[in-house]
Structure 1
Amino acid sequence: MSDQPLVFEEWPAGDASVIAAVRIHSPRNLNSLSLDMIRLLRPRLEAWAEDERVVAVWLEAEGDKAFCAGGDIVSLYRSMTEPGGSDLGEAFFREEYQLDHQIHEFPKPVICWGHGIVMGGGIGLMVGASHRVVTEASRLAMPEVNIGLYPDVGAGWFLNRMPGRLGLFLGLTGARMNAADALYTGMADRFIQHAFKSQVIDTLRGERWQGRDAHGVIGSVLRQFEARSREALPESPLRRHYDDIQRATDADTLVDTVAQLQELAGRDDWLGKSVRGLTNASPTSLALTWRHLRSCRLEGLRAVLDKERVLSVNCLHKGEFAEGVRALLIDKDLQPRWRYPSLVDLDTDWIEDFFREHDNNKR
C-alpha cells in the first residue's frame, strides 16, 4: 500500500479510453485534507483535463469511515501557534479554495464516491463534482462553528442554494445530513449502496466512450445502480422537519434565530441532536456565519470563495479558531474559552474586522 496521501491511477476503459482515479489515502486522520494533498492533486487535474485519453475522473477515499472529515486542522493549529507558521495556514486556505473552484469548473466529468464522513474540506471536494454519489453510510456536515471557524469551501454559495433556510440551519448548527438529506438539499446526485461500488467501476470501465457524451454514459450507469439501491434509501429528517426549521429561522436577528432554534430541542431526538451544537458554538463563529450567508445570497461561486479567503485568513490571526481547535483536538478538554461568552456580548467592530482585507491576506 502506498505511503502517499493521495494515490493516482489510470484505469483502462473501452475504446482505449482512460478513467483517471484519485484515492485519498490518510485513514488514520479520517482522510483529512492537507496542503500536501492539495499540491499533489491540482497539477494532476490540470494534466488530466488536457489528456485526450481521459474521459472522466473518479474520486474516492481509503477505508470505510470517511471520505474526508475536513481540513487538516491540527496542522493549521500549529501554523497559528508556532512562530512564523502563519504562511502555511494562509497558503492552505488560498490553495484549497483554488482546488475547490478547479473541481467545479473541471471540463470533464468528476465522479465523487462520498462514502462515510464528509465534512468541511471534504464537502469542498465533493460538492463541485459533476456526479456526486452518497451511500448508506454517508454523513455530511459543516460543523465549523464549534471550532471557532465558519462554513467555508464555498458554503456561502451552496448553503444559499438549498431549499428555504435549510442552509442557514445547517451552517449555524453543524447538523449532520444523511444520504437522503444530501439528495434533498442538492449536495448529492445519486444514492447507491456501497456494496455496488466495484460493480459501478467495472461497468464504467466496460463502456465504450468514443463519440458518446461522457456525462450521459456515467448518468446511465449510475441510474442502474441507484434503481437497485432504492429500497435502502433512508428517510430525510431535513425534509420531515422542513416546516419546523423554516419557522425557527424566520427572524430578523441572529439572537432571535438561535433562541428559536434552541426551542426545537424538545420536538424529537433528531432535532435535539441537531441544535445541540449551538450550545458550545463560538458566538463569533455564529455571527460570522450569519453575516457571511446573508451577504452571499446573490454572489457567484468565485466571488464567494474570494470572500472566504479573506475571512479564513483573518480567522487564522484572531485567536478564536486556534482556541476552538485547542479545546477539541489538542488539549481535548472540550472547554473552549471564547473571546465573547455569548451573542449579546459580541462587539460589532470585532465581527466587522473579519470581513476586511488586511495586509496579511492580500496574496
Structure 2
Amino acid sequence: MTDAPVLFEERPTGEGQLIGVATLNAPRALNALSLAMIEQLSARLSQWAEDERVVAVWLEGAGEKAFCAGGDIVALYKAIQSGEGGAFAETYFTAEYALDYQIHCYEKPLLVWGDGIVMGGGMGLMAGAGYRLVAETSLLAMPEISIGLYPDIGASWFLNRMPPGIGAYLGLTGAQLNARDALDLGLADRFVPRASREALFEALLAADFGNADGAQALQAVVGRVLDRFEDRGQAPVAQLWPHRDHLQYLTACASASDAAARILDHGDQDDWLAANRARLAAGCPLSAQLVWQMTRRHSHTSLAEAFREELNLSVQCCVKGDLSEGVRALLIDKDKNPRWSHESVGAVPQADIEALLSPLWGPETHPLREL
C-alpha cells in the first residue's frame, strides 16, 4: 500500500459512471487527520463535484480500527513547542473547518463509512455527510475535555440540534456513543452491519444511475440501495436514550460550574454514566467552561458563524489554553496526569474565558469569511 495520506480511486458503475472512493491512509495513527489529508481530500472533493461522470463519493478509513480518531493534535503540540503554534493552528484549523463545511454543502451523494473509532476531527468529516453509516463496531465521541480543547469541527452548531441539554452533556463528559446512540441523536443515518460493507459497495456500483438526472435523483438511487442493506435489528443496545431525562436534569443549570457539580455529585451506578463522570472529573476545567459557552453562543447561529468562532477559539486554545499540556499528558509523555491551569470548573475566572473568546480577526479579514 502506498504511503499517500489519502488513497483515491474512481470505480466504474455498470452504466459507465464513476463512484469516487477516498480512504484516509494512516491506520497506525488511527487515521488521525493531518493537514496533508485535509488539503488532498478537499481538492479531490472539489474535482469530483465538477466531474459529471462521478455520481457518488465514498469516504472511509484504512485498517480495521478507525474511520478517523481525530485531528493531528501531535502536530499541533509540536508546533506549539516550537513557538509556531499560532501560525500552524490557523493554517490547520482553517483548512479543516473549510473541508467540514464543504462536506456539509456537498450536493452529490457522499457516504461516510463510520466504522470503528470516530472521534473529534473524524466527527467533523462525518457530521455533514449525506449518508452517515454506522456499524456494530462504531464508537463515536467528542473527547476534547480530556486534552484541553472543546468540541469544535462544527459541534458548537450540531450539538444544539439534539434534545435540550444532551449536546452539552456530551461535550462536558466526552461520552462515548455506540451506533444506536448515534442514530438516536441524529449523528448517523443508517445502520449497516460491518459484514455487509463489501456487498453494499458492490450494490452501489451495480445500481442504475443511468437515468438519474440531478442531485435529488442520485440521492434516490443511493437511498434505495441502502434500504436493502440497513438492518437496525443488529444495532447494539442504546446507552444514552434510556437516560435522556436524567441527562437533561443534570444539565438543566445556569452555568458550567453548576452543571459540572451536578454531574460529579450524582453517584450513578450505571457503568456508562460512571465512565462519563470520571472523564469530566479528570478533564480540563477550562474546556468545560468553553463547552458551555460555545453551545449557548451557537444555539441559534448558522453553521458558518459557528465555524468562524471555532477557528478563533481553537487558535486561542493553542496560544493561551491548556491544549499543549493535555496532549503532552495523553500522547507525548503518556503519564495521564495533566497539570491543568485551573483546579476546578468553578475556579475558572470569567476573564480567562473572555480572553480565549476575544476575536483575532475582524469580519473582513477572517480566514473563513467566505463560508
**Structure-2-length-normalised TM-score:** 0.95
Distance in structure 2 (CA, Å) of the matches to 1:260 and 1:95: 37
Structure 1 gap segments, 5+ residues each: none
2:206 maps to 1:220: no
Which range moved further: 352-361 or 51-60? Answer: 352-361
Counterpart for residue 306 of structure 1: 308
Contact kept in structure 2, 1:265 and 1:273, CA below 8 Å: no
State the SS of the aligned residue for 1:16: coil
Counterpart for residue 160 of structure 2: 160
Counterpart for residue 353 of structure 2: 351
Q: Which has the higher helix share?
A: 1
2:278 partner letter: R
The structural deviation recorded for 1:267 is: 3.2
2:228 partner letter: Q
State the SS of the aligned residue for 1:241: helix
Identify which of 288, 291, 302 aligns with 1:289. 291
Structure 1 residues 221 and 351: CA distance shift in structure 2, 3 A: same
Counterpart for residue 35 of structure 1: 35
Distance in structure 1 (CA, Å) of the matches to 2:20 and 2:340: 45
Structure 1 residues 85 and 258: CA distance shift in structure 2, 3 A: closer
Counterpart for residue 109 of structure 1: 109
State the SS of the aligned residue for 1:59: strand
Distance in structure 2 (CA, Å) of the matches to 1:225 and 1:44: 28
Distance in structure 1 (CA, Å) of the matches to 2:58 and 2:237: 27
Contact kept in structure 1, 2:19 and 2:56, CA below 8 Å: yes
Structure 1 residues 81 and 55: CA distance shift in structure 2, 3 A: same
1:223 partner letter: D
Distance in structure 2 (CA, Å) of the matches to 1:155 and 1:214: 28
The structural deviation recorded for 1:9 is: 0.2
Which range moved further: 229-238 or 49-58? Answer: 229-238
2:199 maps to 1:195: no
Distance in structure 1 (CA, Å) of the matches to 2:232 and 2:259: 36
Contact kept in structure 2, 1:115 and 1:137, CA below 8 Å: yes
Alignment of 1:55-66 (within 5 A): 55-66=55-66
Which range moved further: 349-358 or 144-153? Answer: 349-358
User: How many pairs were matched up?
Assistant: 361
- Superposed CA offset, 1:306-350 (max 9, x none): 010000010110141101111111111111111111122212111
Counterpart for residue 98 of structure 1: 98
Identity among equivalent positions (%) equals 46
Contact kept in structure 2, 1:21 and 1:59, CA below 8 Å: yes
Structure 1 residues 139 and 206: CA distance shift in structure 2, 3 A: same
Distance in structure 2 (CA, Å) of the matches to 1:264 and 1:203: 49
Structure 1 residues 327 and 217: CA distance shift in structure 2, 3 A: same
State the SS of the aligned residue for 1:231: helix
State the SS of the aligned residue for 1:275: helix
Contact kept in structure 2, 1:133 and 1:189, CA below 8 Å: yes
Contact kept in structure 2, 1:184 and 1:239, CA below 8 Å: yes
Counterpart for residue 20 of structure 1: 20
1:78 partner letter: K
Counterpart for residue 144 of structure 2: 144
Contact kept in structure 1, 2:260 and 2:345, CA below 8 Å: no
State the SS of the aligned residue for 2:159: helix
Identify which of 343, 346, 359 aligns with 1:341. 343
Distance in structure 2 (CA, Å) of the matches to 1:303 and 1:201: 36
Structure 1 residues 138 and 265: CA distance shift in structure 2, 3 A: farther
The structural deviation recorded for 1:358 is: 2.5
The structural deviation recorded for 1:89 is: 2.0
Distance in structure 1 (CA, Å) of the matches to 2:75 and 2:257: 33
Distance in structure 2 (CA, Å) of the matches to 1:231 and 1:357: 48
- Superposed CA offset, 1:186-239 (max 9, x none): 00000110100000010000011022211111111111111xx33311111111
The structural deviation recorded for 1:264 is: 3.7
Structure 1 residues 352 and 285: CA distance shift in structure 2, 3 A: same
Counterpart for residue 135 of structure 2: 135
Distance in structure 1 (CA, Å) of the matches to 2:96 and 2:171: 19
1:304 partner letter: A
Contact kept in structure 1, 2:20 and 2:58, CA below 8 Å: yes
Counterpart for residue 171 of structure 2: 171
Distance in structure 1 (CA, Å) of the matches to 2:248 and 2:232: 28
Counterpart for residue 77 of structure 1: 77
Contact kept in structure 2, 1:264 and 1:271, CA below 8 Å: no
Counterpart for residue 207 of structure 1: 207
2:238 maps to 1:236: yes
Distance in structure 1 (CA, Å) of the matches to 2:334 and 2:108: 43
- Superposed CA offset, 1:223-263 (max 9, x none): 1111xx33311111111111111111111121221121123
1:348 partner letter: Q
Contact kept in structure 1, 2:124 and 2:154, CA below 8 Å: yes
